Structures are given as structure tokens and as C-alpha cells.
């Protein structure tokens, strides 16, 4: 079996799906379907791990192709806080962990609506200026209008 540490996790072992060749520089390992393997690892983590550790949070963030700053914004925390979770300093709160799991699952199998909503909410949190909100009643019901 191959101990697959290149993904950043220490507990991943592959029974097959790879080829080892000798080169002039030593052994070279080739994974047959790295994207599929990483998707399987990510889905296992979000569906089966009771609590995510720092390396697993980092793995999911990288698979989502998000910077620490971007994921921190989506989770409603500071970049420093997220960095601490990834380094194992403190535990990710359960609501933030559930949101991360949802984002990953949707990334793999969803239509993007959850991420769009979360990104919009994160954008709203950055908007510190409240504006007047006007509504107009029409035959179809009430509707917000630009102020």
C-alpha cells in the first residue's frame, strides 16, 4: 500500500490506483486519477468524520480553491481565526464546520446555490452602511424597490 501524504493528510493509504516506476532520480509515483481521489477523500471527510481537524479543514479549503481569507469571509470569521484552526490551535465551532461541509458537498455535487447565498451574505456583512429600503405594493404582492 502507498502512504499518500501529498494531499496534506497523514492518515491516507492507497490500496491501488497508482503506479510506481524507477527513474534515474529514484522512485516516481503516479496517481491514476488525483482529482477523483481527492473528491473521494473530501466526501469521506464531510460525510463520516465527527469532527474535522486542522489538516482536514485545510484540505477541504484547498479543494474548494479558496484562500484563507475567502473561506474566513464565507464562515464569518477572521483570517487569523481560520489560520489558527488549520494549525490546530482551537477547534472550529460546529456551525462553521457544518457550513464548510455543506460548501464542500455542494462543490462536488450541487448547483452552486448555497455558495452563492453564502457569498452574498458575506458581502452583506461587509456593507456597514444601512440604506433606506422602500417597498411597493402591486397586484402581485409587495416588492422591494431601489431607494
In this prediction the pTM is 0.80
CATH class assigned to 33-129? mainly alpha
DSSP string spanning the chain?
Answer: -EE--TTS-SS-EESSSEEEEEETTEEEEEES-HHHHHHHHHHHHHHH-SS--HHHHHHHHHHTT--HHHHHHHHTS-HHHHHHHHTTSS---HHHHHHHHHHHHHHHHS-SHHHHHHHHHHHHHH-------EEEEETTEEEEE--
Domain ranges of the chain: 33-129
pLDDT, one tens digit per residue, over 120-140 is 877 776 665 567 778 899 999
pLDDT band, very low/low/confident/very high, at 18 (cuts 50, 70, 90): very high
pLDDT tens digit string along 62-96?
999 999 999 999 999 999 999 999 999 999 999 99
Amino acid at each position: 500500500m502507498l502512504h499518500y501524504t501529498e494531499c496534506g493528510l497523514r492518515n491516507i493509504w492507497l490500496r491501488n490506483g497508482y503506479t510506481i516506476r524507477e527513474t534515474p532520480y529514484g522512485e516516481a509515483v503516479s496517481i491514476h486519477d488525483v482529482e477523483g481521489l481527492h473528491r473521494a477523500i473530501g466526501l469521506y471527510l464531510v460525510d463520516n468524520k465527527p469532527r474535522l481537524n486542522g489538516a482536514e479543514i485545510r484540505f477541504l479549503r484547498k479543494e474548494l480553491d479558496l484562500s484563507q481569507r475567502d473561506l474566513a469571509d464565507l464562515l464569518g470569521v477572521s483570517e487569523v481565526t481560520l489560520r489558527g484552526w488549520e494549525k490546530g490551535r482551537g477547534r472550529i465551532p460546529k456551525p462553521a464546520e457544518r457550513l464548510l461541509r455543506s460548501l464542500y458537498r455542494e462543490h462536488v455535487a450541487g448547483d452552486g446555490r448555497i455558495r452563492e447565498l453564502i457569498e452574498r451574505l458575506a458581502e452583506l456583512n461587509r456593507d456597514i452602511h444601512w440604506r433606506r429600503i422602500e417597498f411597493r405594493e402591486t397586484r402581485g404582492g409587495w416588492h422591494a424597490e431601489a431607494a
